[in-house]
Structure 1
Amino acid sequence: MHILVTNDDGPPSGQSSPYVHSLVSTLQSSGHTVSVVLPHTQRSWIGKAHLVGKSVRPTYFRPSPLVTQNGRLSNSGTVSSRPLPEDSLDEEWILVDSTPASCIQIGLYHYFQSRGPIDLVVSGPNYGRNSTAVFSLSSGTIGGAMEAAVCGVKSIALSFAFFDRNHDPEIITNASLLSVKLIEHLYKTWDKDTHLYSVNVPLVENVLGRKILYTNMLQNAWRSGSCFQLIEVPEEEDQGPEEVEDAMRKAEQKLGRKEQGNLEGSGTGSGYETPTGAGHVRYTHKHFKWAPRFKDVYQSVEESEEGNDGWAVAQGFTSVTPLRANFMHAPGEFKGEIKLEQ
């Protein structure tokens, strides 16, 4: 297959994008032609957005060979403002200063024609789960796959759900191996009413021997109030998206440890003051910081019945959720375990 890969975490990085190089290498080792277009920086929580009115300027990433260094998979490479010569045989990925959805548009229609038609889009692997509606509706990973679906191309949104931040090379390698087998299986058996699949692979030991289940998407909600925290007037510049995402992953990791333990054994107000006259509202000047409460997601999963994507990931299973490109579950009977060819 000719597979187009994007993500919402940006180019390979131990801090913010530790999985994409492993997946690309595993797809290539399985005989697939892989073309890669990624955002040039972290673009999580951006959904299927495009940056309207902004010119897109590509740069070019040349990944170094994937090796294990200091107990982790390396994620190094070089960036250039100019592409390699057309006769070069070196590997080169395209980085664009935009969103995952824009990466899909550019990758489908403006590059790679000499490689033949693109058969499948894989968006991911995301650094963290994209299970349940709360995460999925804002996910840039799923947004990229949605963009491909509305372009008429089969697509899979792939996420690696971590329970801690131990980037064990063997666990990541096995998650990539499972993902490639599952990608091939879904492509061969694609359901005619499904536009895209959302797949969550847990980063756990023996993932190749654990169940793969069709699931629905848990419909949950933010229940603790606003995802924005009221703060004092900031004295320093805002944090960049990489720093914010890293802090959020650390918070998610604390809750993930509780989930892993299970495997092994309010709002701030309306933001305005009482009206002082008919038709007149006096607002006070305030500052806010993005600070979602992940415990809402974990509690909704704990309270849910079996069969949804959040529940499957919490059990250490791989979830496969068939979707339509309108944020609806795909019709049909998707139940039970998926058996892959050995």
Structure 2
Amino acid sequence: MRVLVTNDDGVYAPGIAVLTVFLAEAGHEPVVVAPDRERSSVGHAITLNRPLKLQKITGPYPEAVTAYSCDGTPSDSVVLGLEEIAPDIAVVFSGINKGPNLGDDLTYSGTVSAAMEGLVFGRTSVAFSLDCRDEDIERHYETAGIFAVHLLQWLSRNPLPEGVLLNVNVPNLAASFVKGVLVTRKGTRAYEGKVNRLQDPHGRTYYWVAGRPEDEMVEGTDVWAVAHGYISVTPVHLDMTHYPSMETLCSQGLTELDLEGRDRSDSTGR
């Protein structure tokens, strides 16, 4: 299968290189279009205020792999990849991200948003992330690469529902130590001390947005699964409409509000 491979860590990041190598060695044809630098946490941003450039590269990829760097966002990379480089591709793989995209993080994630852009184009789309930290001596990208190959084979027999992508998080373990695969729901991840107020050498105040992740360890969620050594696969629906609330809002009279102060019950319109 031909697969568009992208990420938000940049086209030279180890995760995307490993994913591409595993796909190529399994006999697939990966085509890489990814940002020319790290674009983490940019969400679903696209570039509308300047032109975009693509540059063909070799980098850390097998010689037979076609690869381009894009000076835009992850979503830009998917747009250019599907519109200009390989419009016949039916599958978009985003990752392997350095670090997890669990719980509410997926709303910020450029990795997940690149998969969302693939979904907008009607392609089967999957985001892959490795639950590693900066202090980890080993990062087992190969575990995610192995799973990506098996998942692609599974997807060829089991198409996803329309409008659904998969958000995959892999524990930072050798493949032999992974307990299994769980289908999960999005968990809750909050950050303690999210805004840090600091001063520069000139006494001017600046702010650093960071914080420590605090997860609600509820069984069945993505955060619980990865913390307990499982690969988490979360189906994500692009349609964010909360349908039960539509009927509630109508029954509570929202549609009867009139900005001109008229009584909508008066059939004469006065």
TM-score with structure 2 length normalisation?
A: 0.80
Q: How far 1:32 sits from its partner (Å)?
A: 1.0
Q: For 1:175-214, what aligned pairs fall within 5 Å after superposition?
A: 175-193=144-162, 195-207=164-176, 210-214=179-183
Letter in 2 for 1:120: V
Query: For the Cα contact (< 8 Å) 1:175–1:208, is it kept in 2?
Result: no
Q: How far 1:286 sits from its partner (Å)?
A: 4.0
Question: What is the alpha-carbon distance in structure 2 between the residues aligned to residue 207 and residue 9 of structure 1?
Answer: 26
Q: How far 1:234 sits from its partner (Å)?
A: 5.7
Residue in 2 aligned with 1:288? 207
Question: What is the alpha-carbon distance in structure 1 between the residues aligned to residue 240 and residue 46 of structure 2?
Answer: 18
Letter in 2 for 1:153: R
Query: For the Cα contact (< 8 Å) 1:212–1:319, is it kept in 2?
Result: yes
Change (3 A) 1:328 1:145: farther
Letter in 1 for 2:211: R
Q: For 1:139-158, what aligned pairs fall within 5 Å after superposition?
A: 139-158=109-128
Letter in 2 for 1:6: T
Letter in 1 for 2:96: P
Q: How far 1:327 sits from its partner (Å)?
A: 5.4
Q: How far 1:27 sits from its partner (Å)?
A: 0.4
Residue in 2 aligned with 1:103? 77
Determine helix, strand or coil for the equivalent of 1:63. coil
Residue in 2 aligned with 1:48? 44
Q: How far 1:91 sits from its partner (Å)?
A: 3.7
Gapped regions of structure 2 (runs ≥ 5): 243-270
Query: For the Cα contact (< 8 Å) 2:126–2:168, is it kept in 1?
Result: yes
Matched, 1:27 2:23: yes
Residue in 1 aligned with 2:68? 94
Question: What is the alpha-carbon distance in structure 1 between the residues aligned to residue 222 and residue 41 of structure 2?
Answer: 19
Determine helix, strand or coil for the equivalent of 2:143. helix
Letter in 2 for 1:197: L
Letter in 1 for 2:207: F
Change (3 A) 1:151 1:200: same
Question: What is the alpha-carbon distance in structure 1 between the residues aligned to residue 221 and residue 100 of structure 2?
Answer: 13
Question: What is the alpha-carbon distance in structure 2 between the residues aligned to residue 146 and residue 326 of structure 1?
Answer: 11
Question: What is the alpha-carbon distance in structure 1 between the residues aligned to residue 181 and residue 94 of structure 2?
Answer: 19
Determine helix, strand or coil for the equivalent of 2:218. coil
Q: Percent identity?
A: 29
Q: How far 1:64 sits from its partner (Å)?
A: 4.5
Question: What is the alpha-carbon distance in structure 1 between the residues aligned to residue 213 and residue 141 of structure 2?
Answer: 26
Change (3 A) 1:228 1:315: same
Query: For the Cα contact (< 8 Å) 1:137–1:327, is it kept in 2?
Result: no
Change (3 A) 1:327 1:143: farther
Change (3 A) 1:322 1:221: same
Change (3 A) 1:327 1:318: farther
Letter in 2 for 1:324: H
Q: How far 1:188 sits from its partner (Å)?
A: 2.4
Determine helix, strand or coil for the equivalent of 1:181. helix
Gapped regions of structure 1 (runs ≥ 5): 67-88, 236-284, 330-342
Question: What is the alpha-carbon distance in structure 1 between the residues aligned to residue 97 and residue 24 of structure 2?
Answer: 19
Change (3 A) 1:48 1:214: same
Q: For 1:155-304, what aligned pairs fall within 5 Å after superposition?
A: 155-162=125-132, 165-167=136-138, 171-193=140-162, 195-207=164-176, 210-222=179-191, 224=192, 227-233=194-200, 286-290=205-209, 292-296=210-214, 300-301=215-216, 304=217
Query: For the Cα contact (< 8 Å) 1:132–1:310, is it kept in 2?
Result: yes
Higher strand share: 2
Higher-Rg structure is 2
Cα shift readout 1:201-239 (whole Å, capped 9, x = no counterpart): 1120234752100000013444x35x332121466xxxx
Letter in 1 for 2:165: L
Change (3 A) 1:188 1:91: same
Letter in 2 for 1:145: A
Q: How many residues align?
A: 240
Question: What is the alpha-carbon distance in structure 1 between the residues aligned to residue 22 and residue 15 of structure 2?
Answer: 11
Determine helix, strand or coil for the equivalent of 1:212. strand
